[in-house]
Structure 1
Amino acid sequence: MPGKRKGFFVAFLVTLLVLIILFMYGYVSFEINRMYGGRMSPFEDWRSYIAFLASKVPFLKDRITYQPLRAESPAEYYSRIYQRYIEIYTQKIEELTRKGKEIEEKMKVMETQKSVVDKMLEEVQSLKSQLIEEKNRLESYEKQVDELVNVLLNTDPRNLASALNNVDDKTLAVIFKRTDPTYAGEFLEALSGVNPQKAARVMEMMVGVDNTIERLESLMEQAKSSIEEMTKKEAQLFSRETYLKVVADALNNVSPEVAVEFLKKENVDPETLRIILSMMDRERASALVQYIVQNAMELLEEKE
């Protein structure tokens, strides 16, 4: 009987020990699951446990490093996550800021190019206006001469003597050269009665009036052809010298960085660059040269 009680007691203790072990295992599993969200099992990191035990042995603890895991608090976790987001957004902001500056520099270069083109178009329009004005003046003069010729042919020379005295010598020479010599002689005779000196000057000028008429006709043709050509090339750069002067004026109003980008886009060679610099303001040109030497030596190198 005592043997049976002893066996029962031992069995009870063993059973209780097993239950305690199972309970502890379950509790440990519960805590691990709660901390890691089911991503780890109790015996998964057994090497760390062995390292932990070895770190307690006097002769082994100096050779083994054991670093226990540390669970973050919610505040620490979210602080770390927010800090990471802040770093990411800061990088994005810096990148966008850098791209914004690049776009701004490109826009400045484009504005400089546009100002050069606009200035050239102004020069073209100005020249075109001058040519049109000259053409209109010549046409008006030619029309005036033809009208005077018609009037003279249908009027008694004696009645026009005073009026002829008010017309300039060159115009009278052209008119008389275009009329019949008989009529021209009568008008000169009538004019000599009012102003002999003027009549003499007109007769002298009539000798070379053919050249004057040819020159006027040549000017008319040149004006017409020039206007036609300028109309076709209105949007093109028509003069290298004018273009370089416009570029120099534009570069006087921008920073060296923008000026260098503009020169690169225009593919300016060293010789052209020297001409542009000579046309610029001295201080601006000096600052630009210094910047080119430090940051864009390729602009000073001869292209093969």
Structure 2
Amino acid sequence: MAKRRGLIIFWVFLIVLAFFVVAVIGSYFYFEINKLQLYGITPFSDWKSYTASIIKFIPGIGGMVKYKPLTVIPYQTLLESRINAFQGVLNTQVASMDAKMVQLQNLENDLKVTQATIAASQSNLEIQEQQFNMQLLANQNYRSRIQTLDQWISNSNPAQIGHVLATSNISVNVLVDAMINLSPQTAGSILQSISQVNPSLASSIIETLTKVTK
């Protein structure tokens, strides 16, 4: 009984040892395969070539099979080729980014030119607006003075004011602007008074007044 029990223990130990040896061999085999893959070798992936290499030795059909050994690419060469491919893609992306940067720079320059043009136009517009406001103010002041002159003339004796206007340095245009708002009777009396003192001035007033009223 003890002998049989010892035999069972021996076989169990032997089986465990066998599994252990198989596990060690399998793990080491897997380890070596991984090392080969680092050098570009992929075992068990080219079963067609393996089949062709076996059939090649069979008489009659061996000559019909074309077998070419698998080319193994050194890991350094494979790594360099992948690095070069990645570098090529990277260079392409960098060139594309540079082109986009140039395009953005051109757009920025165009924008600056447009902004400068707009600023110049705005400045010119502001100057024109200032000039218009100044001209408008001058016209308003001129109209105010003309209205004041109209009131003076209307409240004066036509003969006396005509004599004063004929001997004054007031321009013909100012006299016309003032007299055009007067009543025809008052304007006629003043022109008659001016013609007695300065016929040339009266003639110029009538001529200018005729052009204005056309």
Shorter-chain TM-score range: 0.5 to 0.7
Aligned to 1:97: 98
Report the CA distance shift for 1:52/1:69 in structure 2 as closer, same or farther (over 3 A): farther
Q: Report the TM-score, using the length of structure 1 for normalisation.
A: 0.41
Aligned to 2:202: 203
- Whole-angstrom CA distance in 2 between matches of 1:131 and 1:122: 14
SS in 2 for 1:91: helix
Alignment of 1:233-248 (within 5 A): none
* Higher radius of gyration, 1 or 2: 2
Aligned to 1:144: 145
- Whole-angstrom CA distance in 1 between matches of 2:53 and 2:124: 88
Q: Is 1:31 the equivalent of 2:35?
A: no
Count the aligned residue pairs.
184
Residue 92 of structure 1, CA deviation: 1.1
- Whole-angstrom CA distance in 2 between matches of 1:209 and 1:28: 121
Query: How far does the alpha carbon of each residue in 1:28-83 deviate from its partner, in whole angstroms, 9 at most, with x for none?
Result: 5542244338xx996554443455567899x96x953213434515xx56544443
**Which residue identity does 2:168 align to in structure 1?**
N
- Whole-angstrom CA distance in 2 between matches of 1:41 and 1:79: 18
- Whole-angstrom CA distance in 1 between matches of 2:136 and 2:30: 104
Report the CA distance shift for 1:173/1:43 in structure 2 as closer, same or farther (over 3 A): closer
Residue 91 of structure 1, CA deviation: 1.4
Structure 1 unpaired stretches of 5+: 1-21, 216-304
Whether the 8 Å contact between 2:52 and 2:66 is mirrored in structure 1 is: no
**Which residue identity does 2:75 align to in structure 1?**
E
Structure 2 unpaired stretches of 5+: 1-21
Whether the 8 Å contact between 2:49 and 2:67 is mirrored in structure 1 is: no
- Whole-angstrom CA distance in 2 between matches of 1:129 and 1:136: 10
- Whole-angstrom CA distance in 1 between matches of 2:108 and 2:35: 57
Whether the 8 Å contact between 1:32 and 1:42 is mirrored in structure 2 is: yes
SS in 2 for 1:65: coil
Aligned to 2:75: 72
The sequence identity of aligned pairs, in percent, is 13
Residue 179 of structure 1, CA deviation: 4.3
Q: Report the TM-score, using the length of structure 2 for normalisation.
A: 0.54
Query: How far does the alpha carbon of each residue in 1:214-233 deviate from its partner, in whole angstroms, 9 at most, with x for none?
Result: 58xxxxxxxxxxxxxxxxxx
Residue 99 of structure 1, CA deviation: 2.0
Q: CA RMSD in A?
A: 5.0
Report the CA distance shift for 1:176/1:214 in structure 2 as closer, same or farther (over 3 A): closer
- Whole-angstrom CA distance in 1 between matches of 2:190 and 2:34: 131
Aligned to 1:171: 174
**Which residue identity does 2:36 align to in structure 1?**
M
Whether the 8 Å contact between 1:55 and 1:65 is mirrored in structure 2 is: no
Aligned to 1:288: none
Report the CA distance shift for 1:63/1:120 in structure 2 as closer, same or farther (over 3 A): same
Whether the 8 Å contact between 2:146 and 2:178 is mirrored in structure 1 is: yes
SS in 1 for 2:68: coil
- Whole-angstrom CA distance in 1 between matches of 2:114 and 2:175: 53
Residue 203 of structure 1, CA deviation: 2.0
Aligned to 2:89: 88
